[in-house]
Amino acid sequence: MSREPVTLDKARVSYGVIHALQGFSGSFLPGQVTALTGGDGAGKSTLLKLLAGRAPLESGSIQGLPDKKDIGYQPADSGVWRDMSVIENMRFIASAYRMDPSLAQERIEGLLADAGLTYARDRTGRNLSGGMRQKLGFIMAALHEPDLLLLDEPTTGVDPASREGIWTLISAQAADGRTVVFATTYLDEAERCASLYLMNDGKVLARGGAEDICAKAPGRLWQAPASVGKQMTRDSFFGSGLQDRPAPSAFHNWRRADTALAWTAAGDERTPDGFTRTDFDLENASIAYLLQDDQGGLPTKPRAAAPDVDAANHPQQAESGRDDDRQEDGKPGGPRAKGPVHSKDRLLIQATDVVKRFGSFTALNDVSLQVKPGQIIGLIGGNGAGKTTLMRILLGLEQVNQGSTLLLGGPPSLESRRRIGYVPQGMGLYPTLTAWQNAQFTADVYGTSPQGWTAKYARSLGRTPVGSLPLGAQRLLAYTLAAGHDTDLLILDEPTSGMDPVSRMRLWRELHRRADQGVGVLVTTHYMAEASQCDQCVVLAHGQVQAMGDVEQIVGSHHSLVIKTEEWEQALKLLTAAGLPVSMDGRTLRAIDADENTVKEALEPLGAAYELTRSPARLDEILTLTSQPAQDLSLRG
Of all residues in the chain, what percent carry a pLDDT higher than 90?
A: 39
**How far apart, in whole angstroms, are the C-alpha atoms of residue 176 and residue 554?**
35
pLDDT tens sequence across 374-396 = 999 998 877 777 888 898 899 88
How far is residue 75 CA from its own chain's centroid? 18
Say how many CA atoms lie within 13 Å of 386 toward its Cβ: 29
pTM of the entire predicted model:
0.81
- The single-letter code of the amino acid at 65 is L
∠ CA 18-283-265, nearest 5°, is 75
DSSP per position, 420-483: EEEE-TTTT--TTSBHHHHHHHHHHHTT----HHHHHHHHHTTTSBGGGS-HHHHHHHHHHHHT
> CATH second-level architecture of 6-212?
3-Layer(aba) Sandwich (3.40)
How far is residue 32 CA from its own chain's centroid? 23
Q: Which residues pair with 582 in a beta bridge?
A: 591
pLDDT tens sequence across 426-482 = 888 999 999 999 999 988 888 888 888 788 888 888 899 998 887 778 888 999 898
Query: What local confidence, expressed as pLDDT, does residue 341 receive?
Result: 45
Mean pLDDT, residues 107-130 taken together: 88
pLDDT tens sequence across 210-243 = 999 999 999 999 999 999 998 998 888 776 778 8
**How far apart, in whole angstroms, are the C-alpha atoms of residue 156 and residue 144?**
24
CB 24 within 8 A of CB 33: no
Q: Phi and psi dihedrals of 77, rounded to 5?
A: -90, 15
How far is residue 561 CA from its own chain's centroid? 26
Other Cβ atoms within 10 Å of 56 Cβ, number: 10
Task: CATH number for 349-552: choose from 3.40.50.300, 3.20.20.60, 3.40.720.10, 2.40.110.20.
Answer: 3.40.50.300
**How far apart, in whole angstroms, are the C-alpha atoms of residue 368 and residue 546?**
11
Higher pLDDT, 251 or 593: 251
Q: What is the largest CA-CA distance in the chain?
A: 78
**Range(s) within the chain of domains with CATH label 3.30.70.790:** 559-616
Question: Among the residues of 12-126, which ranges form H helices?
Answer: 44-51, 86-96, 101-115
pLDDT tens sequence across 56-67 = 999 999 999 999
DSSP per position, 373-388: TT-EEEEE--TTSSHH
Query: What local confidence, expressed as pLDDT, does residue 336 receive?
Result: 44
Q: Phi and psi dihedrals of 568, rounded to 5?
A: -65, -30
Query: What local confidence, expressed as pLDDT, does residue 7 receive?
Result: 96
Contacts of 367 (CB under 8 A, 6+ apart): 351, 353, 354, 355, 386, 390, 403, 540, 543, 544, 545
Query: What local confidence, expressed as pLDDT, does residue 88 receive?
Result: 95
Residue closest to 387 by CA, chosen among 123, 619, 160:
160
Whether the per-residue pLDDT at 309 is higher than 70: the answer is no
Query: What local confidence, expressed as pLDDT, does residue 182 receive?
Result: 92
Q: Phi and psi dihedrals of 382, rounded to 5?
A: -75, 175
**How far apart, in whole angstroms, are the C-alpha atoms of residue 569 and residue 578?**
15
Query: What local confidence, expressed as pLDDT, does residue 624 receive?
Result: 67
Whether the per-residue pLDDT at 33 is higher than 80: the answer is yes
**Lowest-confidence segment of 407-411, 420-424, 462-466, 583-587 by average pLDDT:** 583-587
Q: Which residues pair with 420 in a beta bridge?
A: 489
Mean pLDDT, residues 295-314 taken together: 37
∠ CA 582-583-587, nearest 5°, is 120
∠ CA 255-526-155, nearest 5°, is 120
Does 559-616 carry CATH code 3.20.20.60? Answer: no
What stretch of H or E contains 489? strand 489-493
Residue closest to 37 by CA, chosen among 254, 212, 256, 286:
286
Mean pLDDT, residues 114-140 taken together: 87
Question: Among the residues of 257-351, which ranges form H helices?
Answer: 282-294, 315-319
What Cα–Cα distance (Å) separates residue 595 from each residue in 502, 592, 614?
Answer: 40, 9, 11
**Range(s) within the chain of domains with CATH label 3.40.50.300:** 6-212, 349-552
pLDDT tens sequence across 570-605 = 888 888 888 887 776 666 888 888 888 998 988 888
Residues 494-531: b if buried by 16+ CB within 10 A, e if exposed? bbbbbbbbbbbbbbbbbbbbbbbbbbbbbbbbbbbbbb
Query: What local confidence, expressed as pLDDT, does residue 136 receive?
Result: 92
Mean pLDDT, residues 85-94 taken together: 95
**How far apart, in whole angstroms, are the C-alpha atoms of residue 150 and residue 72?**
6
**How far apart, in whole angstroms, are the C-alpha atoms of residue 634 and residue 579?**
19
> How would you classify the pairing of strands 489-493 and 420-423?
parallel
Higher pLDDT, 632 or 149: 149
Whether the per-residue pLDDT at 319 is higher than 80: the answer is no
pLDDT band at residue 372, thresholds of 50, 70 and 90?
A: very high
Whether the per-residue pLDDT at 335 is higher than 80: the answer is no
Whether the per-residue pLDDT at 177 is higher than 70: the answer is yes
Cα-only R_g, the chain: 25
**How far apart, in whole angstroms, are the C-alpha atoms of residue 331 and residue 333?**
6
